[in-house]
Structure 1
Amino acid sequence: MALNLCKNKLIHALLFTTLAGISLATVAKVIPAEQLNLQELTPTEDQRLATVNMVQLLRRHYEKIPLNDQSSVKIFDRYLENLDPDRRYFLVQDINAFEKYRHKLDNDLKTGNLRHAFEIFNRYQARVKQHLLFNLKLLKRGVNRFNFAIKETLETDRKNAHWSVTHTEQQSLWRKILKDRILRLKLAGKEDKEIAKLLTKRFNNQLNRLHQNNNEDAYQIFVNAFTQIYDPHTQYFSPRRAENFDINMSLKLEGIGAVLQSEDEYTKVVRLVNKGPADKAGQLKPADKIVGVGQGTDGDIVDVIGWRLDEVVELIRGKKDTIVRLEVLPSGSNSTGPGKVYSIKRDTVKLEEQSAQKKLFSIKEKGKSFKVGIIQIPTFYIDFKSAQAGDPNYRSTTRDVKRLLKELEKEKIDGLVIDLRNNGGGSLQEANELTGLFIKQGPTVVVKDSFGRVDTQEDPDSSIYYDGPMVVLVNRLSASASEIFAGAMQDYRRALVVGSQTFGKGTVQSIQPLNHGQLKYTLAKFYRISGQSTQHQGIMPDIHFPAVYNTEEIGESSLPDALPWDTIKPVRHTPYQASIPEMMLLQKKHNQRIQSSPDFIYIQDQLNYQRELEKQTAISLNEKQRQDELKQRQEQRLSIENIFRKAKGKNVYKDYSDFEKIAAEESQKEQDDLPVEDDAYLFEAGNVLVDYIQLKHRIAANDNVF
């Protein structure tokens, strides 16, 4: 169906005029690529063959999606969304011109016909160049031509906005976007000349990159619009990206330990490698947007807005022990103010830093001291090379945890906390074997493939290495193998799972080489022994702690076309107790405790502050109003910090600049140096464990006092 606008929107669009008299044509013409000195990109025979091969391979995908008109519509919409997510480049006339392909892309893919997809990409490139030339023309007229005293706003959430009808309407949007970028730099203390120079350089760089785009860039965007209708983990890797993927999987990459992706014009942080350089630095967070990269402690920060992901990655990578500086727009802030600059020392992620570690601390309750053991597991690892070479001392998660359990046993602990926060998974074998340390025997996880075949993994060892009270601590970044282990502990009622809802990554992928690049696709799904999938929903904790991460931005459920949560027939297993007794009482005691905890009050205040920022879908382009808003937010943030510091007996910050300086210095401390008492979530997991131990003792003694 052709795209139509309702009558009032059409009238509004036709009457739309720009402020400050900045306007070009009232109706846009499709400027041929050759007039813009752009190369007309065309597909290759290798790409055609790879496309046909992909269509055949995806018949094995777990989700049996037929390639028909219905899926063609999804591919069409996804392709346009990938190219122009904020609807700032294409015009209504462009979209209407593309409509004839809406129901044809399925047949195009089957035959390897890429001409229509490339036609759309070439039109996109032409519109982007028009946008960049427009920006450069306005900058040439002078930054002082922009009026920051008038009341004007820019909508920042444009995912459901209409495409512009006229070039005049489109240019008004472009002018506002440019005005916002200028205002951000003014708020960062930059002068007009410096702003004009920086932005002119940025847009010229983007023009140069636009001219360097090749058929592989067009092909990759289109075929991933196709592959990702199956699920977000199914994707095509170009030959260059396939090489980068292999480097990442080998763990030999020297850098900051961050997984990145492109989002609009920005490079977005997906997750941090646990115990990696960025994670240790404690500044960069998932969903942050990287806008600049600098080398060393004083090298110029290169503006990377609009850069290709592989180019940004190349800048961030570097030799071990060198410094990279990242200019970042923090997640959820709507970025009305200047960005933050973080310094990170590059390093390799070492196996010994990824290995399980233990801690020990005591909690006093009603005059009695409880000794709590902690085992922190950053990832599920195994040194395959050493194991295959017959080394009797090869490292693995299960082997290391066995050793740590013996050491904690000598300490005569009263209970154990397994900390799986930020553990993104790893070896399925290790998740299976680790589960076996805490149960005598039985199934651990079920894997169901695309043909409906079910494979049940079993505990390979009939010994039980720890049978005492136990809590498993998780958060939104606990994924995959972490969810398998936590789910098994919950299904066996062997441990209390505490924390927040986990990631929900419950699928298995396979890499298949193509004649041109590689295809990663989903071929199986994980299920708990209770029959519930870990996919999409993840693990819901028994005792809920306040969630740090926004589930709308982070987690499987935040990804488009993620496979759904479902169930299969449960696997026969014997739980270790009929039920976890008095669960509501345990939750109530946790809630009461955090209400008076300075740490959790601080966490909740931060979350409330963040959520208020996330509600904003438009920003002011009035300099005075923007300054006032920035000052108000800084005062709010400073107040939250000082209330917390006062409650903890620390010196309060004098002002916001004092906070930024000291907070940056404190964040450089490695998280391993943090005492358990200062880790609010870990300490509270210990408190819940003590409550659980006391409750079990009370029930055993038939005592009503708790």
Structure 2
Amino acid sequence: MFSYRSKILIYITVLLAVGVLASLKLHKSPFAIDTPTGTVDKNTVLLKVVMQGLNSAHFQPEKVDDNFSKKVFDLYMKRLDVNKKFLTEADVTALKKHQLAIDDQVKLGTHDFFEQASKLYTDRVKETEAYYKEILAKPFDFDKEETIETDPDKVTRPTDKAALKEAWRKYLKYQTLGQLSEMMDIQEKAKERGDAKEAGKTFAQLEEEARKKVTKTYDDFYRRQNQATKEDQFSLYMNAITNTYDPHTEYFAPEDKASFDIEMTGRLEGIGASLQEREGQIKVAEIVPGSASYRQGELKAGDVILKVAQANQEPVSVEGMRLDNAIKMIRGKKGTEVRLTVKKPDGTIKIVPIIREVVILEETYAQSALINEDAKVGYIRLPKFYADFKRSGGRNSGEDVRKEVEKLKREGAKGIILDLRTNGGGSLSDAVEMSGLFIPQGPIVQVETSGSQPQVLEDKDPAVQFDGPLVVMVNSFSASASEIVAAALQDYNRAVIVGSPTYGKGTVQQVFDLDQALQGGPYSALKPFGSLKLTTQKFYRINGGATQLRGVTPDITLPDFYSYLEQGEKDQDYPLPWDEIKPARFKPWTPNWNMQSLKAKSQQRLATNQSFKQVTQQAERMKKRIEASSQSLKLATFRADLKKNREETKRYESLEKSMPSLKTSALATDLATAKSDTIKVGRYNKFAKNIQKDIYVHEAVAIVKDQL
């Protein structure tokens, strides 16, 4: 419930304008509210300041009326109980008295609807906790012909508690069915290798073990639910309000803002360990190579953290603690010490002292490799448009890509592939800087603030860092800043855009610290309030068009697994509309290639490429599976469907394995710099190896070679 994010929006990073962390200590702050008297309720203050910001600084403010109220109600109810497993139709009907009153409540700073809905949901969670224990205590009949609807949008909300319990029975049976099928697969493999103990288990034993595994899953689920705070619940409500303005306007609770900063910078201060919560225990899932934990050497994956102490202070038990609270205790300023009491897999208890350091998430940053297929082609992968706005001298993606281009030029690359697939965006200034590496000076993007004339953001450097063949790879998860770069280079005729249509996000956000907006008086004791990410601008192509809703259409389209999924901006709740403005003045590049010729050659290759044919077939099958969302709960039918799907997947994997590998290598410059650092050397070589069988990179290389 409380960590709800759209599956698609997970991939879409905010497009940050220059100077986004602007102070709100302005005399005419858009967040100014009247100072309250008497007892101050934190949620009331938070609601008022967010509404004030939304209505005074959003690009297209909503009219706070009954229509607004209905949208908030519908969105909150959808997110509160996504799978319709807690609230009945009778519950929703009882809450509908607020459906047209939310607008009046937010104007007054009250939250009656939230209070009632939250209490009702909490009560129903406690009631359903008894359901799973009772249902999973008895064997299921897997020979019975019955089905379950797995698409939440198609699920009918239970009419009453009896119908709700029956829905839980089917849901738990479906979960157990998946576990049982997996255990039967394991047993079949055990028989093949002669493992008598595993192979000798009866069906009844396997079924019981499957139910026990599902029981543990729901033990953990309800433990987390019962640890949820009122702040968690109110954050969900706040985002039902903010997301009626657009999908990217969002309230960040303090811990969510910290995670957002890590995403944007690729840096954090801590010990360099990935943690997970299992059965009430905090376990080490992975150690980040080269981190403080890695160098200290005593903390290992599989260790259970029992207690956390700050240097020589008394240790605090983290058993049964929420994962996010445990992480807060373990992270800390560079140079400070944290002492972890851990339980090793063999049962021994050990205190592990670690000096915190800056943890660099290398997978965030630009990286390149050299492909040598009759001609040297450079490949640059950019996962996101990162930038460190807080730290002077921090890394930014525009400068890093410039460095990668220089290294590739020194190693003799005649063409370059810039891979922006699944890059959800990031820093606006870096998108402008990066586009400018490949063109003479000129406009890159037009940005409009509500009520103002569009501003043209330009590359003012007349130098062209690389003037050879350029291919930009995109897909349906390429968004925002990725779309700015792809659109600009397409409008200039500077690059060939290859892949599938992009996401369609054409808006710019700013992040405001609400603690800065609420200075002094009665607010100090209530902090922290968190932050508000607010859509303040729209951006447009230099040809006057917009990527909003429509995205960027590639020059050369390649088959895509996800082409049938509803995953773009147009498929989200309440996106801003598409429009267009006057084009900017710019001089297109004169390419030495003919686009129609490039398209024809690519189509000829695709026509005989069995892997791409299989991608198209897989995409069509995926669409059918999504549409046929009703699943059988009969074991034999379930296993037969699963076998069919696996055979289809194996066919594609076998085709991929039979493909010739691209001749790739890590850059000599990188390997020389790394020298004896085996971690870096291994990472560089692994990166180069990972693209050898990528059919999309294969085709991108061929398109570059067609231009030489």
- Please confirm whether the aligned pair reaches a TM-score higher than 0.5, indicating the same fold: yes
Where in structure 1 are there 5+ consecutive unaligned residues? 1-42, 261-275, 278-294, 301-306, 323-346, 364-368, 650-667, 694-706
Distance 2:327 2:612 in 1: 36
Query: Which of the residues 372, 385, 389 maps onto 2:377?
Result: 372
Instruction: Report the AA paired with residue 423 of structure 2.
Output: N
Secondary structure of the equivalent of 1:674?
A: helix
Q: Whole-Å Cα distance in 2 between the matches of residues 493 and 233 of structure 1?
A: 30
Structure 2 residue aligned with 1:530:
543
Aligned position for 2:252: 237
Following TM superposition, by how much is the alpha carbon of 1:217 offset from its aligned partner in structure 2, in angstroms? 2.7
Which letter maps to 1:180?
A: Y
Q: Which residue of 2 aligns with 1:156?
A: 150
Deviates more, 1:536-545 or 1:204-213: 204-213
Secondary structure in 2 matching 1:143: coil
Matched letter for residue 619 of structure 2: L
Q: Secondary structure at the match of 1:687?
A: helix
Unmatched tracts of structure 2, length 5 or more: 1-38, 184-204, 277-287, 290-299, 306-320, 341-356, 519-528, 662-682
Task: Give the match for residue 583 of structure 2.
Answer: 570
Does residue 1:686 correspond to 2:704, yes or no? no
- The amino acid that maps onto 1:521 is L
Aligned equivalent of 1:426: 426
Q: 1:291-370 maps to which residues of 2 (within 5 A)?
A: 296=301, 310=324, 350=360, 354-363=364-373, 369-370=374-375
Q: Contact 1:509–1:522 (CA<8 Å) still a contact in 2?
A: yes
1:489-504 superposed matches below 5 A: 489-504=489-504
Provide, for residues 343-402 of structure 1, a one-character-per-residue CA deviation record: whole Å limited to 9, x for no partner: xxxx98747765544444444xxxxx544343444444556688x46xxxx865444544
Tell me the residue number matched to 2:268. Answer: 252
Query: Which fold has the larger relative contact order, with Cα–Cα distance below 8 Å and residues 6 or more apart in sequence?
Result: 2
Sort the Cα spacing of 1:223 and 1:309 in 2 relative to 1 into closer, same or farther, 3 A: farther
Check the 8 A contact 2:242/2:250 in 1, yes or no: yes
**Structure 1's 298 and 195: CA in aligned 2 closer, same or farther, altered over 3 A?**
farther
Partner of 2:181: 187
Is 1:48 the counterpart of 2:63? The answer is no
Q: CA deviation at 1:581?
A: 7.1
2:109 to 109, 112, 132: 112
- In 2, the alpha carbon distance for the partners of 1:75 and 1:451 equals 26
Alignment of 1:129-208 (within 5 A): 129-139=126-136, 142-144=137-139, 146-189=140-183, 191-208=206-223
Residue 615 (structure 2) pairs with residue 620 (structure 1): no
Contact 1:529–1:570 (Cα < 8 Å) also in 2: yes
Confirm or deny: 8 A CA contact 1:415 1:689 kept in the other structure: yes
Q: Once the 2 structures are TM-superposed, how far is the Cα of residue 460 of structure 1 from its aligned partner?
A: 1.9
**Residues 250-289 of structure 1: matches in 2 within 5 Å?**
251-252=267-268
Q: Once the 2 structures are TM-superposed, how far is the Cα of residue 420 of structure 1 from its aligned partner?
A: 2.5
1:601 to 1:240, Cα distance in 2 relative to 1, 3 A: same
Which residue number corresponds to residue 98 of structure 1?
Answer: 95
Q: Give the secondary-structure state (helix, strand or coil) at the position aligned to 1:110.
A: helix
Residue 268 of structure 2 aligns to a residue whose secondary structure is coil
CA distance 1:670–1:255, change in 2 (3 Å): farther
Q: Secondary structure at the match of 2:162?
A: helix
Once the two structures are TM-superposed, the CA of residue 404 in structure 1 deviates from its matched residue by 4.8
8 Å CA contact 1:506, 1:533 repeated in 2: yes
Secondary structure of the residue that 1:165 maps to in structure 2?
Answer: coil
The Cα of 1:63 is off from its aligned counterpart by 1.9
Amino acid at match of 2:544: G
Asked if structure 2 preserves the Cα contact closer than 8 Å seen for 1:357 and 1:377, the reply is: yes
Match for 2:499: what amino acid?
A: G
Distance 1:453 1:196 in 2: 62
Structure 1 counterpart of 2:608, one-letter code: S
Question: Contact 2:69–2:100 (CA<8 Å) still a contact in 1?
Answer: yes
Does structure 1 conserve the Cα–Cα contact (< 8 Å) formed by 2:564 and 2:620? no
Q: Deviations over 1:511-546 (max 9, x none)?
A: 223353322211112211111223332221111112
Question: What is the letter of the counterpart of residue 76 of structure 1?
Answer: F
Task: Report the CA distance between 1:158 and its aligned residue.
Answer: 3.3
Alpha-carbon separation, structure 2, partners of 1:149 and 1:68: 53
Contact 1:512 1:520 in 2 (8 A): yes
Residue 600 of structure 2: aligned partner: 588
Contact 2:252/2:532 (CA < 8 Å) preserved in 1? Answer: yes
Aligned length: 556
RMSD value over aligned CA atoms? 3.9
Shift of 1:486: 1.5
Matched to 1:107, the amino acid is D
CA contact (8 A) 2:560 2:615 kept: no
Task: Work out whether residues 368 and 380 of structure 2, in 8 Å CA contact, stay in contact via their aligned partners in 1.
Answer: yes
Contact 1:118 1:218 in 2 (8 A): no
* Aligned CA distance change for structure 1 residues 44 and 115 (closer, same or farther; 3 Å): farther
Picking from 240, 253, 274, the partner of 1:225 is 240
Instruction: Find the aligned partners of 1:160 and 1:450 in 2 and give their Cα distance.
Output: 38
Whether contact under 8 Å (2:44, 2:111) holds in the other structure is yes
Q: Distance in 1 between matches of 2:301 and 2:378?
A: 41
Q: Output one character per residue of 1:637-663: Cα deviation in whole Å (capped at 9) or x when no partner.
A: 3333334445659xxxxxxxxxxxxxx
The amino acid of 1:446's aligned partner reads Q
Distance 1:204 1:242 in 2: 29
Deviation at 1:608, TM superposition (A): 4.3
Residue identity over aligned pairs, in percent, reads 35
**Pair 1:238–1:437, CA change in 2 (3 A):** closer
- After TM superposition, the score normalised by the length of structure 1 is 0.70
The one-letter code matched in structure 2 to 1:45 is D
CA distance in 2, matches of 1:312, 1:505: 35
Once the two structures are superposed, the pairs formed by residues 9-88 of structure 1 within 5 Å of their partners are: 45-59=41-55, 60-88=57-85
CA contact (8 A) 2:611 2:652 kept: no
State the distance in 2 between where 1:171 and 1:570 align: 59
Secondary structure at 1:188's aligned position in 2? Answer: helix
Letter of the 1:460 partner, please give it.
Answer: K
Which residue is equivalent to 1:215?
A: 230
Task: Check the 8 A contact 2:443/2:457 in 1, yes or no.
Answer: yes
Does the CA contact (< 8 Å) of 1:443 and 1:459 recur in 2?
yes
Inter-partner Cα distance in structure 1 for 2:330 and 2:558: 35
Determine if the alignment matches structure 1 residue 545 to structure 2 residue 550: no
Q: Tell me the distance in 2 between the aligned counterparts of 1:349 and 1:115.
A: 43
Judge conservation of contact 1:242–1:518 (CA < 8 Å) in 2.
yes
Question: For residue 32 of structure 2, what is the aligned residue in structure 1?
Answer: none
